[in-house]
């Protein structure tokens, strides 16, 4: 039986160990994956100087999906210039594969600030300040200038906004909140707000709201229940989803799907957390974010049934365990697999 062709990039730190648990749980659903491991990340870079060779990128295009653990050098590692792996591997994949939606769902676990809340952040994933526009003038002189622009195309904003509206339209609450900073970012903010306003009539049953990003940070902590679907730009989405992770029980639970909704190539699924080198190899990393990310992958591959079973198993595990009772990485993977 041939399975879904999935590329696995375990990456650095706890990445490989959490991926292992995610694949264990997928196997337990009965969904067959035909996986290929890719040796990419800090070790590979230190060994060979390669971050993401062009031919490897081309090879990755041939898969249905990519499961990624984490990339990033250990804190204090001075052999790898800061950002080399993040930009050269992760961001390059997001841009090259046109993964224009970064979908980050949150469910507040028992005891968390957002306990009982369930919301999703749709983060634009290929533009904004991440696009790399800008540069230096007079570098190294007392009159040095550094600019870092935010790139917002009508096409890029609109496709992301449409995705968010369509997602909201299929949820019980049907609410969409644009988060931006339109009072200050008058060009980018104006384009986002106009785009949202113009698309809105096509989704007449979706209630539309707007929050400034600073206010959204307060609301996420004080009234997380007010959110259903949030749509926002790349940098605001990066920051907001770390905050959303923290109020929902910790970044160890936060999953993400980097989607190419047009399906012109593979989409990429990864936990929001990083490589956490300090706990790597100790068998104590929380694999739930990776397992949840694998469920998002199955969903996108059309295996809705298996995905739903994993979601249910994760929530029943979290409810039953009252968090922290089981802390071993592989024991958590086993427990999720058993509850399927
Ligand atoms: C994330 C990460 C990345 C980002 C880094 C590693 C480049 O923080 O996926 O949220 O900023 O997007
Ligand atoms: Mn981030």
Rounded Cα distance, 78 and 107, in Å: 37
**Contact between 45 and 39 (Cβ < 8 Å):** no
Percent of the chain with pLDDT over 90: 94
| pLDDT score recorded for residue 47 | 93
Site of tokens 């990419």: 40
**Contact between 189 and 181 (Cβ < 8 Å):** yes
Number of the ligand closest to the Cα of 99: 1
* Closest atom, ligand 1, to C-alpha of 242: 10
> Closest Cα to residue 120, out of 211, 251, 227, 5?
227
Note the pTM of the prediction, 2 decimals.
Answer: 0.96
Q: For residue 147, give both structure tokens.
A: 């600019």
Q: Is 20 helix (H, G, I), strand (E, B) or coil?
A: helix
**Catalytic positions, written as ranges:** 130, 181, 214, 238, 242
Per-chain residues with Cβ under 5 A from ion ligand 2? 238
Rounded Cα distance, 285 and 15, in Å: 9
Could you read off the pLDDT of 225-245 as tens digits, one per residue?
999 999 999 999 999 999 999
Could you read off the pLDDT of 267-313 as tens digits, one per residue?
999 999 999 999 999 999 999 999 999 999 999 999 999 999 999 99
Mean pLDDT of 111-125: 97
User: Is the pLDDT confidence value at 73 over 60?
Assistant: yes
Rounded Cα distance, 120 and 141, in Å: 45
Q: State residue 254 phi and psi, 5-degree precision.
A: -85, 125
Residue 240 alpha carbon to ligand 2 centre in Å: 9
Chain centroid offset of residue 113 CA: 21
Site of tokens 């970044």: 251
**Contact between 83 and 77 (Cβ < 8 Å):** no
| pLDDT score recorded for residue 334 | 96
User: DSSP characters for 66-84?
Assistant: EEEEE--PPTT--SS-TTH
């Amino acid at each position: 039986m041939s399975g879904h062709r999935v590329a696995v990039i375990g990456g650095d730190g706890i990445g490989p160990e959490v991926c292992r648990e995610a694949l264990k749980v997928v196997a337990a659903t009965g969904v067959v994956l035909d996986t290929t491991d890719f040796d990419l990340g800090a070790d590979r870079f230190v060994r060979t100087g390669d971050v993401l060779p062009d031919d490897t990128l081309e090879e990755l295009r041939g898969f249905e999906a990519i499961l990624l653990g984490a990339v990033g050098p250990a804190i204090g590692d001075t052999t790898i210039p800061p950002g080399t792996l993040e930009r050269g591997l992760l961001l390059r994949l997001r841009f090259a594969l046109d993964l224009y939606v970064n979908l980050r769902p949150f469910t507040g676990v028992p005891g968390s600030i957002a306990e009982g809340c369930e919301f999703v952040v749709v983060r634009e994933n290929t533009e904004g300040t991440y696009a790399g526009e800008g540069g230096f003038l007079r570098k190294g002189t007392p009159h040095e200038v550094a600019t870092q622009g935010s790139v917002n195309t009508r096409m890029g904003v609109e496709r992301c906004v449409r995705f968010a509206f369509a997602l909201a339209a299929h949820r019980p609450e049907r609410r969409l909140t644009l988060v931006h900073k339109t009072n200050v970012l008058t060009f980018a903010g104006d384009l986002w707000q106009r785009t949202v306003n113009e698309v809105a009539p096509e989704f007449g049953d979706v209630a539309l709201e707007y929050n400034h990003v600073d206010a959204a940070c307060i609301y996420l902590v004080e009234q997380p229940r007010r959110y259903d679907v949030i749509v926002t730009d790349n940098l605001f989405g990066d920051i907001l989803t770390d905050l959303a992770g923290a109020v929902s029980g910790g970044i160890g639970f936060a999953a993400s799907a980097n989607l190419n909704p047009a399906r012109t190539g593979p989409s990429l699924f990864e936990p929001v957390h990083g490589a956490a080198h300090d706990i790597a190899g100790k068998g104590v990393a929380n694999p739930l974010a990776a397992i949840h990310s694998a469920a998002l992958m199955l969903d996108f591959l059309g295996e809705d049934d298996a995905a739903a079973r994993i979601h249910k198993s994760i929530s029943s595990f979290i409810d039953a365990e009252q968090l922290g009772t089981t802390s071993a990485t592989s024991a958590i993977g086993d427990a999720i697999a058993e509850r399927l």
